[in-house]
Amino acid sequence: MAGQKNWEAGLLCSRGGARMRPMRKPCAGARRKTGKTQAVKQKPSDQFSSASKIAADFSRSETLRKTRTLNPDPQRPDGIQVGSPDVPPLYGLKRHSKYLPFSHAEQRLKKSRNYWICTTRPDGRPHSIPVWGFWIDGQVIFGTARSSRKALNLAKNPAVSVHLESGDDVIILEGAAAEVDISDQTILKKLDAASREKYKMPLMVVPEAVFYSVRPRTVLAWTEKDFPNTATRWKFDAKA
C-alpha cells in the first residue's frame, strides 16, 4: 500500500493502480451508468439520498468539463448556505445559532497531506482510494493516470466525494470532478509551486497523467469531542 501511494504521489502525480510500475518519487495522485438502480430512484426526502441526487444530476454527461483556470469562484463567498447536516432525528442534531466558520474547513483542506477520493464504478459499486493533492482557489486538485480505476469512473460519472483522514475532526466534500488543462503553463506553474511547498518536491507529470479539480457543492464538518454541537453543513448550490 505504501509503495502504491508513493507512486501516486509521484504523478501528483500519476498513479495507475497496483499493476503499474511504481515510481520512486511521489506526486499528488490521483457514473455510474444510469439505469434502474435504487440509488437513482430514491425520493428527494430520503435523508441519505444526496449522493444519489448528485449522480443523477450528472448521469447525462458523456465527458468531464474542462477547466482552464484555477481562479476562485467569485460567487463562493456570498453563495454559501450554512446549516446542520441532513440526518435522521435520532442523531439529535438541532438548529443552533452558531456554526463553524468555513475557514475551519479550508484550513484542514489546505493542510491535509492525504485526501480520500470516493467515486462510483460504471456498475454502481463504490471505489475509494487516498491520494496526494492540494486545496487551491477553493478547489481540491489531485492527479492520477487515465487508466486508473478512479479516472475511468470519473469519465463516466464525475460525481465525487472527498474526505480527509480524521474521523474525529471530520471534513467531507461533495462535488463534481472537472479535468484540469495542464497544457496551460499558468496552471502548471501554480500546481508545481504548490507541490514544492507542500510535499517538498516538484510536480511530476507523465504522458498518461490527468489532473482533476473538485469545487465543492456541499461540505460537512464536525468534531467528535463536541458532536453534535459543532456539526455544520455548507451548501454552495441550491441543488446540492
Backbone phi, then psi, for 234, in 5-degree steps? -110, 130
Q: Where are the beta strands (DSSP E) in the chain?
A: 66-67, 81-83, 115-120, 126-131, 133-136, 139-145, 159-163, 169-180, 209-223, 232-235
The residue ranges of every structural domain in the chain are 2-32+54-70+81-235
Amino acid at the residue 195: S
CATH superfamily, with its number, for domain 2-32+54-70+81-235 = Electron Transport, Fmn-binding Protein; Chain A (2.30.110.10)
**Rounded Cα distance, 233 and 240, in Å:** 11
Burial of 125 (0-12, 13-18, 19+ CB in 10 A): exposed
Could you tell me which residue, 221 or 83, shows the higher pLDDT? 221
Measured CA angle at 138 (ends 134, 218), to 5 deg: 105
| Reduced DSSP (H G I as helix, E B as strand, rest coil) percent helix, strand, coil of the chain, to 5 | 25, 25, 45
Residues 6+ positions from 42 with CB-CB distance below 8 Å: 48, 49, 52, 53
Task: Please tell me the predicted confidence (pLDDT) of residue 240.
Answer: 45
Could you tell me if 33 and 48 are in contact, meaning their C-beta atoms sit under 8 angstroms apart?
A: no
The mean per-residue pLDDT over the stretch 225-232 comes to: 83
pTM (global) more than 0.85: no
Q: pLDDT tens digit string along 126-140?
A: 999 999 999 999 999
| Predicted confidence band of residue 224 (pLDDT cuts 50, 70, 90) | confident
Burial of 53 (0-12, 13-18, 19+ CB in 10 A): middle
Please tell me which of 41-50, 93-102, 187-196 the model is most confident about, judged by mean pLDDT.
187-196
pLDDT range class, residue 28, cuts 50, 70, 90: very low
Residue 19: per-residue pLDDT: 34
Residues 61-73: pLDDT tens digits?
433 444 434 444 4
Kindly state the DSSP code that residue 40 receives in the 8-state scheme. H
